[in-house]
Structure 1
Amino acid sequence: MLIVEGLSKKTIASTDESWLFKDVNLTVSAGEMVAIMGKSGVGKTTLLNSLCGLLPINDGKCTVDGVQLTNVGKRRVRQNLRESVSLVFQSPHLVPGFTLLQNVQLAWSISGKRSPFPPHEVLDRLDIEDERNQLPESVSGGQAQRTAIARSLVTPAKVILADEPTAALDGGNVGKALSELRKACAESGKCVVLVTHDFAIASHCERVLHLEGGKLRESSSSRN
């Protein structure tokens, strides 16, 4: 379970101090998918990076099953990103010189724990078959991004934080990627928090939240 309590981060606009977001509270249960929406520049990506400790915060905290993620040392952040949180960025950030399969295998093995989703199986589900032995620079952006999603699914992390994870995918592959994220939630108790500007993507989630004016509010269109 992901628990966010009073998360706040300041920003500097001209000479006046202001809050990018303030007193953000959120609980995401095992098996749940939640979408965060908002206008461009409102701070959605910053919020996502703050949840996992990549960016410092000014107040509050975020934990996963009691493990502290925020305002911890760099060594602990790295450990958390191996064991507790998995990230999917807007760009794939695959390791150059490693094949697509090797990139996923690396994530599968690096924590020392084993996920119930082996690399070959996840790549097959995301239609990365013939390309799995190719290097990232020799495949399409969509294939590389599906590999990045596969990489997040094979880790033992209980939380997946995804920033526009399907932006580079076409319609059919968007559905497959979201289906696999939902399957990971259902079968292994992972939870997913994704940032998106697309209402069609957000509709796949149990809840839709909007970041506006520094506050995170639940949409009336969230699923029951």
Structure 2
Amino acid sequence: MRDTTDASLCSPLLVRILFGMVRGRVPDAVETVIAITRAGGAASALTASYARAQLHPTPATLGPGTDPRGLLDVIDRDALFARMARDRARELVAHIGFLRSLRQLHDSGVTEAHLAVRNGCSAAEIGHLLARARVEAPDIAPGSRGGTAYEIAARGAAGELDPATVRAELISWVYEPADAAVPAVPGGFDHQVGRAYTDGPLTDDDYDLIRTAVTRHDDDRRRRP
């Protein structure tokens, strides 16, 4: 005899789901799916599992092309914001790596004209990028995790370095002394750590801890005879 459980539940299921969705009560609608499918036995277990996934989705369940208008009412926005920040940090790290490769190729004798052809841009744009690369993407010193303090902070935000390592590196980093005539010294604390805080790679707690430790270290060094 043919099992008609799903067919008998189809109509009331759809009515109650649609009614809940129209009223903007997505969790209630999904709980309806769970309650009804429980009565359907083992054959409906997968449907109930799927319903729970929609009620409590994770970032991993949001595949390409997912329409977020309904799901964003119930998903963990904090997780999405964290993923967005991590992806942005990875983009920063990738761009610094690009600038470093560009500069190293030029230093090895590759002309700006050839680099422009390889990158599909003008030689003038390559010149601008090389000027930035000499400040933002120096070579990585042995034993260090980045060419600049900013890069280390970005690598931490991208998930390449743990928070303790980032803090230790930035506290021990040798910064250029501040100059009243030059507000933003390229190698200074404000331009490196301050900018990393403003751009997002460093949190409030990171910045406060690092600044306090660096200030204390500088004060101790000034007191030495």
Sort the TM-score into its range (normalised by shorter chain): under 0.3
Flag the structure with more relative contact order, 1 or 2, with Cα contacts below 8 A and sequence separation at least 6. 1
| Structure that is richer in strand per residue | 1
**TM-score, length basis structure 1:** 0.25
| Structure that is richer in helix per residue | 2
Name the larger-Rg structure.
Answer: 2
